[in-house]
Structure formats: structure tokens, C-alpha cells
Amino acid sequence: DLVFLSPGPFTPSEQGVPQLVKAVVQRGLPLFGVCLGHQGIAEHFGAKLGTFEHPVHGKPSEVQHNNSGIFSGLSSPFTAGRYHSLFVKRETLPEELEVTAETEDGVIMGLRHKALPIASVQFHPESILSLKDRSGLRLLQKVLTELCP
């Protein structure tokens, strides 16, 4: 089993994502979030979100990562497609969440929970902008093997 929290409009709180994360955590299920899902996971554990002055919609970015977990075996950096106006504020991250990927200018692009089978990405691995070297597809395959042993 794996719960996948997808991208979507509005804020995670407006969509009820933090409450959904709570229910998934209570059931002990593996969880992977993309974009809105990533933000909702961060909010559930106590992080705060910020809003970009200029949204990043349909833009490729170079993403650097720690080469572990869902990022193991991927080139670093790799190109990923971004479509968001909200971001996780690094200074508000709780101790149990670890930054696993970021842009060159320090925007958090990946998180993992240190004790639970939970990981997330801000970028869109399914985007045409993330398919160079099949990075987005390979990341999604790693999600299945890393979070669902």
C-alpha cells in the first residue's frame, strides 16, 4: 500500500491535506506527496508555508539532492518541472523532517520523515520538464521500492 498525495489548487489547509496526512500517519501507511501533497505533509508536521512574489509555473529548475532514499541513483543535479506559488519555509521545519533536495537558490524540493515511511517533492516528477534522462520516472519508481518494501 502507498498513499499518494497529488498536486492541486489552493493551499493544503483549504484542501484538507494536513488532516488527510494525520489519518494516513495514524494508520501507519507509507505516504508520498507531490507539490500540494509535499506542502501538506510539511504543514501537518508543523512547518509553515511562504508565497513567492512571482509564481514558478511551468519552469525547469536544477534540483540538487542527497542521493539517498527516493533520490538514490539519480544524477545530481537533475532538471525538474516546477508549478507552484507556495513553498516550505526552511526555518520552520520540525526536527523530524529532513531536507533531501533543493534548488540552487535553496528552495526545498524534497523532504523525508526521519522515522516514518514518508517522502515528498515540491517539483512535478510527471512533468515533461522532469523527463530528461528519465529522472522523473526513475524517481517515481524509487518511491515504490523505497517506501513500499
As annotated, the active-site residues are 35, 124, 126
* CA gap 149, 144 in Å, rounded: 8
Q: What is the gyration radius of the CA atoms in the chain, in angstroms? A: 14
Per the DSSP assignment, residues forming a β-bridge with 61 are: 80
Query: What are the CA-CA distances from residue 142 to residues 15, 127, 149 (Å)?
Result: 27, 17, 11
* CA gap 129, 135 in Å, rounded: 10
For residue 77, whether the previous peptide bond is cis, meaning omega lies within 30 degrees of 0, is yes
